[in-house]
Structure 1
Amino acid sequence: MERMRQGTHGRRHEPPSVRRAPRTGSPEGGAGPPPPRRPRCASGAGSDGRIGRVGERGRRSVGLGLILASLAGTLALGYLVKHPCVSGDWSDERQYARYCYSDIVPLLHTEQLSGGRLPYLDPCAPTDGGVCDEYPVLSMYAMRLAAWMSKGTAGFYHANMAILTLAAVAAVACLYLGVGRRALYLALAPSLLLYAYFNWDLIPVALTAGAALAYLRRRDVWAGALLGLGAATKLYPALFVVPFVAGRLRGREPDRAIHLAWAAAGTWLAVNLPFMIWGTRGWWEFFAFSSRRATNWDSLWYVACERLTDQTCGDVQAVNAASFVLYLGLVTLVWWAKASRDPGFARWTLGFPVLVLFLLTNKVYSPQYSLWLVPWFALALPDVRLFVAFELSDLAVFLSEFSWFASFGVSGGVSYGTFQVALLLRAAVLTACVVAWYLRRGEVRALEPVPARALAADGAPA
């Protein structure tokens, strides 16, 4: 986004069942107490996170075929929006005036992939202030694969579109298997229409959705491995390791928590280690670039600096430190407040506020980052009104941002002040979403796998 102004840029593991008390209603003994029963989950989710028969009727009344058809319609409209920019001829500033900008188009050349260069392993040719190898490993090699599959800018775009379409299908299918018809949150999201083919974020979105499904089905090693792959694509899925591990620790299953954490770390390391050794300089560029990257105009930091000092945030390292401390403080506060209000809440749902607070406190909020949030509305905050409010506010940000970019050229557009209002509106909506998540009690908790040992220890009621 920083280039926009220049026009570049095995078998199912079942939890141990609660041991039933021996029946004593025989001639040798009287009628003993009834055997303990598992608590009935309102949502129809079994104690291992699978959807039971009650949930099948209630939560899957919409078939997967209809959801995939909805997804196909959304992606088709998204392609039509981007199509005017696919050729790469942006001499008339159409990428702003027609709202069709995509990072995919310029990155074929700025990442120097039109030849046979291997990211990190082969050095980048010197450019005038440009950045090369600025993405994590799996994102860079998704680009490399698409470049091998295609010729020219349009071919590169369409090859990436095919990869991202598969990622979208995988994400929606995982959500459907986990939360049923709520997969429509993603399949019909306006943000999916706008950002599906904007950047490579659908790949970590799909990996995160798969990790959530694996966690809910108690496949903890798979959950960790998928989060590790996600973090090797875009770093943000690493944020969810803590809520998932906290969920297992809350369920008195430290062995599962350890397996999940080690699977995440080990998978990330397995993907990155070869490049850390044999392409150190190129591999490190992503982290160096992220550290020195200036505060973007789409962040609350930029708004605050511009309004309070009439200047941009000059000291990038100070912003980095302040945003990190602020983020940790807010996450700790929200976690403590939620645990005080609802001690039994499903810890894995912390993934929602953890991600929202990251976006609000980060120095960069690129447009496609909103796509990261959509599955978490389906998973942890299934409130249609708040979801619609978020999507509308995000649409306002998108339209005003690109109209503001257009104002620097011949097309004309809105002022930065209008764009700032949209940014503040979206931030207010996201804050309201965190408050709503804090106020909810138990609605989503049925999705949390309840280990049998915890039921036995707590004396589950009959």
Structure 2
Amino acid sequence: MPNGRRVTRRAALATAVLLLCGLTLVLGYLNKARCAGAPFHPDGRSAVFDSAKDADVCYSDIQFLWLGRDIDNHVFPYLDGSITPDGALVGGVVEYPVLSGVLMWLGAIPAHTDADFLRWSALLLAPFALLTAWMLARMAGGAALLWAIGTPLVLYAFHNWELPVVCTAVAAVYVVTVPRWSLRTRGVVAAVLLGLGFCLKLYPGIFVLPLLAYVLTGGPGGRRDVRGALLTGAAAAGTVLLVNLPFALAGFDGWLASFAFQRLRQADITTNSLWYWGLRPLYPASSAGEENFQHTVSFASPVLILASFALALWLGWRRWQGSGVYPWVGVSGAMLCGFLLFHKVHSPQYTLWLVPFLVLLVVPWWLVGAYLVADVAIGVGVFRYFYALGTGEGVEPMENVVQFGVWGRAVLLAVFFVLFLRAEQREDRITSGPRATASPSRTPRPAPAAPR
């Protein structure tokens, strides 16, 4: 195709994806704004919030956290406050890493009610979703529509503060695809972005390990680069240190409390995990049974997560030995699947973390559709389930919907774990040039089959 036509089609595709993403974000905001608005209580809480958040499925953590974290008092986070022995946060502490806390503070500056806070936060977060859509369109072409117009963006765009962290993770992948820079430079810049992502919601930090392996092995047709891998790791660690150090020095107890809160959080009816729905029924319905259950989860969850990480990294290494290219994006996606599957908390909005991998990696679309159906069962069903528990009506049908979502996502995450490790990275056939070949010094062999 002539270069001029290629550029025109690329611009048209990116424009269409951006426009559609913008419309989806409007729908996402209107969905949550149904829970916000006059009349307000004296503390700025919308009177409709408590009555509608579950019944009308318009709950958002953004609106909920307007109260209880000193956000309504415009207190800069982490500088004071702490966590109590039973896991309750006090003072100006929020339960997220520092950059998310700063975004929360920024969104609250012009706000005087929870409706204001939701609106200003949405305006603050929306550009991250649009930038993510643009990068995905550049890398994967029309498949980016899964992000731009998919149900997850409607349900969760303004449910929590996920959009900035997803943007950093996608940006790291995008940077690695820039051909004009050396692989070492791309690795360092991507590591900085993943470090920033860690300071937003932690999970992009796990992608540093496969990125290190990719840089170490030299990428397509490259040579091993030990120094580049070390610089990449140092860039990620240095970014996390530089961002967190001022907060740790200014208010150590408040800074540490955000990490302690996540560590102390228990697997319960609000966490949507296989631990609560699969393992909890095996323990007695007593305080001793609950204590033993939580102890088991606290041990088994991190062990299985780490084991899934090690397995993904090892299988990625085996694929490199056969193909000559370490599949760092596929390994990163598999590691995320392991985390989502075995972590004791699986909040609905975490689906936004997974969607970019479903865009970037070639997996069957029917499986993607099945995952979205299971996700909607959680994103809608869990709140209707809470409403049913409160009213005592229709509890069993809604519990079945929630269990369908929990187990449907769990099974498909296990499937995606395997498929991501074997998948090719999707290419925008409008913009992509010839594929990079393996090093002439290495004769590519077929990638080993994944264990059955």
- TM bracket, shorter-chain basis: 0.7 to 0.9
Equivalent residue in structure 2 for 1:157, among 80, 98, 118? 118
* Aligned partner of residue 145 in structure 1, secondary structure: helix
CA distance in 2, matches of 1:410, 1:197: 27
CA distance in 1, matches of 2:4, 2:236: 33
Under a length normalisation based on structure 2, what TM-score does the superposition of the two structures give? Answer: 0.82
Check if 1:328 corresponds to 2:306: yes
* Aligned partner of residue 224 in structure 1, secondary structure: helix
Check if 1:229 corresponds to 2:196: yes
- After TM superposition, give the deviation of residue 364 of structure 1 in Å: 0.2
- After TM superposition, give the deviation of residue 95 of structure 1 in Å: 0.5
* Alignment map for 1:207-246 (pairs within 5 Å): 207-217=168-178, 218=183, 219-246=186-213
Deviation string for 1:288-313 (max 9, x for gaps)? 11111111330111112223225475
- After TM superposition, give the deviation of residue 159 of structure 1 in Å: 0.7
CA distance in 2, matches of 1:200, 1:125: 22
Greater RCO structure (CA 8 Å; 6+ sep): 1
Larger CA deviation: 182-191 vs 279-288: 182-191
CA distance in 1, matches of 2:353, 2:5: 26
* Alignment map for 1:23-422 (pairs within 5 Å): 56=6, 60=10, 63-87=13-37, 88-90=46-48, 93-123=51-81, 130-131=88-89, 132-217=93-178, 218=183, 219-251=186-218, 252-297=224-269, 298-309=272-283, 311=285, 314-315=291-292, 316-337=294-315, 339-340=317-318, 343-344=322-323, 346-349=326-329, 350-410=331-391, 412-415=393-396, 416-422=399-405
CA distance in 2, matches of 1:125, 1:357: 29
Deviation string for 1:103-131 (max 9, x for gaps)? 011212211122242211133799x9742
- After TM superposition, give the deviation of residue 383 of structure 1 in Å: 3.4
2:43 aligns with: none
1:448–1:274 Cα change, 3 Å: farther
Amino acid at match of 2:123: A
1:330–1:89 Cα change, 3 Å: same
Amino acid at match of 1:319: V
Deviation string for 1:244-289 (max 9, x for gaps)? 1111122223333222221111111111001111210000011111
CA distance in 1, matches of 2:230, 2:238: 12
CA distance in 2, matches of 1:66, 1:91: 35
Gaps of 5+ in 1: 1-43, 45-51
Amino acid at match of 1:348: W
* 8 Å Cα contact 1:82-1:100 kept in structure 2: yes
- After TM superposition, give the deviation of residue 327 of structure 1 in Å: 1.7
CA distance in 2, matches of 1:107, 1:175: 31
* 8 Å Cα contact 1:185-1:374 kept in structure 2: yes
> RMSD across aligned C-alpha pairs, in angstroms?
3.2
- After TM superposition, give the deviation of residue 321 of structure 1 in Å: 2.6
Check if 1:423 corresponds to 2:423: no
* 8 Å Cα contact 1:134-1:286 kept in structure 2: yes
